[in-house]
A and B are shown apart, each in its own frame.
Chain A
Amino acid sequence: MDPIIILQAGVATGTVLLFATLGGIFSERAGVMQLGIEGMMLLGAMAAYSVTVTTGNPWLGLLVAMLAAGLISQIHAFITITLGADQVVSGLSLTFVGTGIALVFGEHLSKAGVISLIPKYTVPFISQIPILGKIFFTDHSVLVYLGYLIVPLASYFIYHTRPGMHLRAVGEQPSAADSLGINVYRTRYIYVFVCGLFSGLAGGTISLAISPGWFSELTTSGQGWIAVGLIIFSQWDPTRALVGAYAFGALRRLVLDIQGPTILLGMRNPFYYNPYWGFFLMMLPYAFTIIVLVIGSYSAMRKRLGAPAALGIPYIRGERGV
């Protein structure tokens, strides 16, 4: 139960949540709720694993995963943006469809094969830094490093670029954006697609890097939902999402490790001697998600800020004609 190991593994596991959460942030910033992340992640995981088994190329698998998830995200996009349907139900249906497709097409995949995974890497020099070097820069999948890079890029994009400004406007006051010639519908379609790409990436990260293999629904085991909770906790900010994601990753690792050693904090480790108590540990990530939600919602209430103002509200305006 080495805290450094736990944090290191946490960063790796957290990367999955990070990608999923970032995708959701983009979509929700544009005003479209994303409750379909779990389905898209599962589909991505299946697609990535399946393609890699067939072709032996994990990068190709990752690419296909992203595109597949992006593709089905457009169902949700069409229903909510063009048809203006309720975004909660549509997101749920997206989860059903994504999960269904993943289970159906993944039926014949062997469970845990020896396949080529996304390579791991240890950054020279920096990994020698005590503690931080070990946690963040040693023996991590390339995708983890990708995570480090994406967050500042995403943050910069959203807050300091013109397209990012348009994104925020579409989610806050779509009528204003529309009146100035920004195509609200197209913007939303694009960012829902972006969310699909990220969700597929997250799924692929699981099956090709973090927990390699295909285990049906257990592959994601609800991480897509935890990601949705993290979106709210992060107040739609990429940097806060990073903090939350890694914290959760560390929590998952902790839950596993704590059942190991026979001595814990100088006492007999109750979790080792009563293995069934592990069930309560399993509840922790989900319970924590609820706590995280409460914190996020409460602080949003108090600051009277929070969600993009137009989140969840379909945008309809007087028609333009054909």
Chain B
Amino acid sequence: MTNLVPGKDKKHFRFPFHIRFEPRLGELKWWQSLLITLAALVVSLLVGALLLSLVGGNPWKAYSHIAKASFGDIGVFSDTMVKAIPLILIGLACSVAFRMKLWNIGAEGQFFLGAFGASIVVLIPIVPDGSPAWVYISVMALFAMIFGALWGFLPGYLKARFNVNEVISTLMMNYIAVAWNNFFIYAVWSEGGFQMSKMFPKAAWLPRLTDFSKQIPEFRGLTTHVGLIFALVMVVVVWFLLYRSRWGYEIRLIGDNPKAANYAGIQIKKNVILVMMLSGGLAGLAGMSEISGVVHRLQGAISPGYGFTGIIVAWLAKLNPYLVVIVSILFGGLILAGREIQPSGIPKLIQGIILVCLIASDYLVRNRIRFIRRMED
């Protein structure tokens, strides 16, 4: 307030402007919001660096190590891509769910169940021994998606019918999923007393680039596998679904304003269940791709937290399927190199800081800073 009581002296200097935050009246150009997002990333890396140095680590060494260890040459880049594949699929899974404001935190558990589904195809077996690769792969993918969808179905149903908070229910399902898989790994399919199943037959392996090194010598040693094709196909499918199909329109409408959707005649409850199943199915496919393309068996340790990193991927990609690919590659690199960084909690911490900075930067997307001149009488 600048109304001065007449006669009183102005003793101290007053900043000649008010600083105020106001909602933006128009939209930002795409490059402006990109800039803000990048700024958020930079800030989070700086904060991470600060914390790292507090613990006695050398942040710049750590960061440059990550860059080299993940993107330094074609070999490590291929390994990064391997880590990116499940992230793409889970990022898609989360994007679809988040579009409808369904907080699917259970991608991790759906991933595990997808791996389980793929495993029973081989280990029961469902497909006769000696079947050709295309039979194995397609049936495994199918079962993985079904089991993943099942794991998404339950929280979806509970939400639709009883309005149970899906954050907690999907999270609980994560723990249950791990225990479920562990039972089968230890008790039923344990190979020689070890905590893993027997190796899958070659036909059940997703081909890797290095498998073609005979034809193309440059591919020697590259671990990227066909799961990448699954992932990229799903990217296009999901994009098409969200932006060109009727169902996608309904999903986006429900996510933006459920009341309006209801009043347009869309059945929200049915869509909650279907979208959770779709999300679970995508995450399940990620599980299949991981065990079939990387470890070729069912074991306990198949995810360095893909389910949770996928959430951040989706958020950073602003729920856009194409951006999910780019962001997944980035985080894939972080996970890959992060295994070698001491202390081991760093990747998780950085992910958390990135998420915090992203959310905060969202504020700047919606509001702008205004300097208002203080008016004198």
Tell me if B351 and A100 are in contact (CB < 8 A).
Answer: yes
Q: Name A122-160 residues within 8 Å CB distance of B.
A: none
Tell me if A286 and B315 are in contact (CB < 8 A).
Answer: no
Tell me if B344 and A107 are in contact (CB < 8 A).
Answer: yes
Tell me, rounded to whole Å, the shortest Cβ–Cβ distance linking B371 to chain A.
Answer: 11
Residue from the list B105, B165, B308, B345 in contact with A102, Cβ < 8 A: B345
Tell me if A93 and B359 are in contact (CB < 8 A).
Answer: yes
Q: In this complex, which of A88, A93, A94 has the most chain B Cβ atoms within 10 angstroms of its Cβ?
A: A93
Tell me if B162 and A294 are in contact (CB < 8 A).
Answer: yes
What B residues does A106 contact at CB under 8 A?
Answer: 345
Tell me if B175 and A222 are in contact (CB < 8 A).
Answer: yes
Provide the bound-state CA to CA distance between A112 and B21, in Å: 50
Tell me, rounded to whole Å, the shortest Cβ–Cβ distance linking B131 to chain A.
Answer: 30
Provide the bound-state CA to CA distance between A108 and B55, in Å: 10
What B residues does A83 contact at CB under 8 A?
Answer: 359-360, 362-363
Task: Say whether, besides A100-B345, A101-B51, A107-B55, A35 and B353 are in contact (CB < 8 Å).
Answer: no
What B residues does A96 contact at CB under 8 A?
Answer: 308, 312, 348-349, 351-352, 355
Tell me, rounded to whole Å, the shortest Cβ–Cβ distance linking A254 to chain B.
Answer: 16
Residue from the list B21, B169, B353 in contact with A290, Cβ < 8 A: B169
User: Residue on A with the closest CB to B98?
Assistant: A89
B32 at interface by CB-CB < 8 Å: no
Tell me if A289 and B355 are in contact (CB < 8 A).
Answer: no
B335 at interface by CB-CB < 8 Å: no
Number of chain B residues close to chain A: CB under 8 A:
50
Q: In this complex, which of B103, B179, B345 has the most chain A Cβ atoms within 10 angstroms of its Cβ?
A: B345
Task: Say whether, besides A85-B363, A88-B103, A283-B180, A103 and B348 are in contact (CB < 8 Å).
Answer: yes
Tell me if B169 and A100 are in contact (CB < 8 A).
Answer: no
Task: Say whether, besides A286-B176, A297-B165, A103 and B360 are in contact (CB < 8 Å).
Answer: no
Provide the bound-state CA to CA distance between A99 and B348, in Å: 8
Number of chain A residues close to chain B: CB under 8 A:
53
Q: In this complex, which of A75, A96, A99 has the most chain B Cβ atoms within 10 angstroms of its Cβ?
A: A96
Provide the bound-state CA to CA distance between A305 and B353, in Å: 36
User: Residue on B with the closest CB to A83?
Assistant: B363
Tell me, rounded to whole Å, the shortest Cβ–Cβ distance linking B334 to chain A.
Answer: 13
Tell me if B167 and A88 are in contact (CB < 8 A).
Answer: yes
A177 at interface by CB-CB < 8 Å: no
What B residues does A104 contact at CB under 8 A?
Answer: 51, 55, 343, 345-346, 349
Choose the segment among A1-9, A58-66, A256-264, A274-282 that binds chain B (4+ C-beta atoms closer than 8 Å): A274-282
Tell me if B55 and A279 are in contact (CB < 8 A).
Answer: no
Tell me if B360 and A280 are in contact (CB < 8 A).
Answer: no
Interface string of B28-42 (1 = CB under 8 A from A): 000000000000000
Provide the bound-state CA to CA distance between A297 and B169, in Å: 12
What A residues does B349 contact at CB under 8 A?
Answer: 96-97, 99-101, 103-104
Tell me, rounded to whole Å, the shortest Cβ–Cβ distance linking B25 to chain A.
Answer: 15
A165 at interface by CB-CB < 8 Å: no
A229 at interface by CB-CB < 8 Å: yes
Provide the bound-state CA to CA distance between A64 and B187, in Å: 43
Provide the bound-state CA to CA distance between A20 and B343, in Å: 28
Provide the bound-state CA to CA distance between A95 and B345, in Å: 13
Provide the bound-state CA to CA distance between A79 and B171, in Å: 23
Residue from the list B21, B164, B165, B353 in contact with A97, Cβ < 8 A: B353
User: Residue on B with the closest CB to A293?
Assistant: B164
Tell me if A297 and B164 are in contact (CB < 8 A).
Answer: yes
Residue from the list A229, A277, A298 in contact with B172, Cβ < 8 A: A229
Tell me if A290 and B175 are in contact (CB < 8 A).
Answer: no
What B residues does A35 contact at CB under 8 A?
Answer: 167
Provide the bound-state CA to CA distance between A59 and B342, in Å: 30
What B residues does A277 contact at CB under 8 A?
Answer: 183, 187
What B residues does A283 contact at CB under 8 A?
Answer: 175-176, 179-180
B110 at interface by CB-CB < 8 Å: no
What B residues does A103 contact at CB under 8 A?
Answer: 343-345, 348-349
Interface string of B307-340 (1 = CB under 8 A from A): 0100110010000000000000000000000000
A241 at interface by CB-CB < 8 Å: no
What B residues does A108 contact at CB under 8 A?
Answer: 343
Q: In this complex, which of B103, B349, B363 has the most chain A Cβ atoms within 10 angstroms of its Cβ?
A: B349
Residues of A within 8 A of B (CB): 35, 39, 75, 79, 83-86, 88-90, 92-108, 222, 225, 228-229, 232, 274, 276-277, 279-280, 282-283, 286-287, 289-290, 293-294, 297-298, 300-301, 319, 321-322
Can you spell out 28 A-B residue pairs with CB atoms less than 8 angstroms apart? A79-B359, A83-B362, A88-B103, A89-B315, A93-B352, A95-B352, A96-B308, A96-B312, A97-B353, A100-B353, A104-B55, A107-B343, A107-B344, A107-B345, A222-B171, A228-B165, A229-B168, A232-B165, A279-B179, A279-B180, A280-B179, A282-B175, A283-B179, A290-B164, A290-B172, A297-B164, A297-B165, A321-B1
Contacts A39-B352, A287-B176, A294-B162 supplied; 16 other A-B pairs, CB < 8 Å: A88-B103, A93-B355, A96-B355, A97-B353, A99-B348, A100-B353, A105-B343, A108-B343, A279-B182, A279-B186, A282-B175, A289-B168, A297-B165, A300-B163, A301-B162, A321-B1
